[in-house]
Structures are given as C-alpha cells and as structure tokens.
Amino acid sequence: MRPFGELEADIMRVLWAAGGKSLTIHEVADALNGDGRDLAYTTVMTVTERLRTKGWLERVKQGRSFRYSVLRSADDYSAELMEQALESSVDRAGALLRFAGRLDAAEAEALRRALAETPADPAPED
C-alpha cells in the first residue's frame, strides 16, 4: 500500500470526520475549500474516485449524484503504514522497541492492554 497523497489524506480526513455519514463530492469540496483552499469540483471528484477504486471508499447513487462513505477506518490506515515500516526494517523487534520507547504513558498503557488481550500466536490473515 502506498501512503495517501496530500489531497487523498485530506479527503479521507473529511470523510472520517463525518462519523459514518456519506457525503457528496460537493460536501467534500466545500469542507476542503472551507480551509482556505480553492479546489475545483472535478479535482476533488477525480481523487475521491481514485480512493474508491483503491478500496477506501464506497459510493451509492442518490438522485443524479453519488454519496461517498468510508470502508476502512483511520486506524486501519495507520496500522497498515506501521506494518509497512516494520516490513522494511532489518530488525523488526528493534524497530518495535524504539517505537514503544517513544510512546507517552497513556499510549504505552493502551499498548500493554492490547498486548495482554492479544493471543500469543494470532491466526494469519487471509
């Protein structure tokens, strides 16, 4: 998986912030342009469609337009990026330890809880 480009990431943030509500391209463009940008509708439409073909969004026809909603969470995206970083490391355990050493106390506690709840030998994903 390639990391999102700047506009892809911004579009995903708008849709993630919608809390499960689907949005039209106009609504996404308005949210992006509300940040002082001047993006063309067609630019937002093209990049949103790209995200759909990559499997991050789904669309449903409503009247003459489409409404887009997320298929995968921001946490899924972050986890995939972290997994890629670990895969590129020569010393996966060392990279994990360095990462864990940079967590604040609350994050470290959340990680401890998650590890305690995780089976010792998780089943491989299909």
Alpha-carbon span 88 to 37, nearest angstrom:
35
**For the segment 53-63, what is each residue's pLDDT rounded down to a tens digit?**
999 999 999 99
pTM of the complete model: 0.80
DSSP for residue 24: E
Beta bridge partners of 69: 58
Domain ranges of the chain: 6-70, 74-117
Please give the pLDDT value at position 119.
79
- Only one residue has tokens 């990279």, namely 95
Q: What distance, in Å, lies between the first and last C-alpha atoms of the chain?
A: 16
Please give the pLDDT value at position 123.
62
Q: Is pLDDT of 120 > 80?
A: no
Question: Which one-letter amino acid corresponds to residue 43?
Answer: T
Alpha-carbon span 117 to 111, nearest angstrom:
10
Beta bridge partners of 19: none
CATH code: domain 6-70 is: 1.10.10.10
